[in-house]
Structure formats: structure tokens, C-alpha cells
Amino acid sequence: MNAVEKAVLHAEVGDSMPRLVIRSNTRIDTGRWWWRSPLLLAVMEEELVIFAGARRRYACRIAFDSCRQSVYDHGSRELVLAPVEGLEHKRVGMSVSDALRVLHLIGVAA
């Protein structure tokens, strides 16, 4: 993580240490001129934090209970977070090994 991404995560979770942090292949608009910023996933003790940082910051916290039906879509190579309501980025691109680690930590039988 770069310094801005660390600051965004620290603002969301304070001094809590994540169990896992993964940089995804999904990129979102965070106010940079020529390119988008990658979405990162941090698996905490009881919630998943999705965040990105640059000029604008994006952060979202999801309780594990809200995403127990999540799956990995092999066709699109994305982790599909379900049944979370109102989540802006429900599909997050990543490798199958990273997705399986996330699914295991949030308690989804894979």
C-alpha cells in the first residue's frame, strides 16, 4: 500500500490490524487525471473494508454477515459480494487464489 492508501485504511479502522489486504484488479475514479486507482480489500476481524485513495477517497465497510453469499465468478475473474444492498462496487476483479483467501476469511464455504 502507498501512503495515501494506508491513511484511508487508518481513517476507517484506526489502529486495528487487518488479517489480509489485497490490491484488486478493479480500478475506480478517485480524481486522478490520467488513470484510475485500484480498489483494495482489507479483511478485518468481523468486517470487510473496501477502499481506494488518491485526490478523492473511497471507503466502505461491510459486515461479514452481509456478504455470506459471496462467490468467485471464474468467467469474469471477479469476486462477487452478495447479497450486500447499496454497495457501489459489488464485483471486484482478482485472482482465484486471492478470492479464495478472502472467501475463507469471511466465512464462506468454498
pTM, entire model: 0.89
Of 97, 95, 108, nearest in space to 67 by CA: 108
Residue indicated by cell numbers 478470492: 99
Measured distance CA(19)–CA(67) in Å, rounded: 17
The pLDDT value given to residue 86: 81
pLDDT in tens, 33-85: 788 899 999 999 999 999 998 888 899 999 999 999 999 999 999 999 988 88
Q: Which domain holds residue 67?
A: 3-106
Mean pLDDT throughout 80-98?
91
| CATH number for 34 | 2.30.29
The pLDDT value given to residue 30: 82
What's the domain count of the chain?
1
